[in-house]
């Protein structure tokens, strides 16, 4: 999978998108890949800064702030973007974009495994954008 595809993915598919913001470098510290944000059933091609706090036209998963390492924040507070705070060193963050052929039957506060199960057989295309967040 090539990262340059991200630029054209949103232009090619007039469809439903799922966005995942993941930190795989968190694994040695937390014991799992940290989920910063998952937005599902997006039907528009633009998100504004901090819109995960206010938008109602798509659904959002519980992020990793719900975990013990995230101080067990409530599912309501954890169902939006949870910012980058690498505890040990600079981390590479990944934004996964999936173009789907259907709206997923999920509710706010869903979990990552539920997203993958719902997307199975419905992925038209995907792309990954990576960036390093300095400690």
How far, in Å, CA of 42 to CA of 79, rounded? 15
Closest CA to 2 of 135, 134, 128, 130: 128
Under 8 Å between Cβ of 42 and 16: yes
Q: Where are the domains of the chain?
A: 3-133
pTM beyond cutoff 0.85: no
pLDDT tens profile 104-135: 999 999 999 999 999 999 998 888 888 898 87
Q: How confident is the model at residue 80 (pLDDT cuts 50, 70, 90)?
A: confident
The pairing of beta strand 123-133 with beta strand 34-42: unpaired
Summarize pLDDT for 2-60 with one digit per residue, the tens. Answer: 333 334 444 555 567 888 899 999 999 999 999 999 999 998 878 888 888 888 999 99
102-to-4, 16, 42 alpha-carbon distances in Å: 24, 6, 11
CATH fold group of domain 3-133: Phosphatidylethanolamine-binding Protein (3.90.280)
């Amino acid at each position: 999978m090539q990262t340059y595809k991200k630029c054209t993915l949103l232009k090619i598919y007039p469809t439903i998108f799922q966005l995942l913001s993941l930190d795989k470098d968190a694994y040695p510290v937390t014991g799992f890949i940290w989920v910063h944000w998952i937005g599902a059933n997006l039907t528009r091609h633009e998100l504004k800064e901090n819109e995960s706090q206010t938008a109602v036209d798509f659904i959002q998963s519980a992020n990793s702030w719900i975990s013990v390492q995230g101080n067990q924040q409530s599912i309501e507070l954890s169902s939006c973007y949870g910012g980058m705070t690498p505890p040990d060193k600079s981390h590479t963050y990944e934004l996964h974009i999936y173009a789907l052929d259907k709206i997923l039957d999920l509710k706010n506060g869903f979990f990552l495994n539920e997203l993958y199960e719902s997307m199975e057989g419905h992925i038209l295309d995907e792309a990954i954008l990576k960036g390093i967040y300095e400690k």
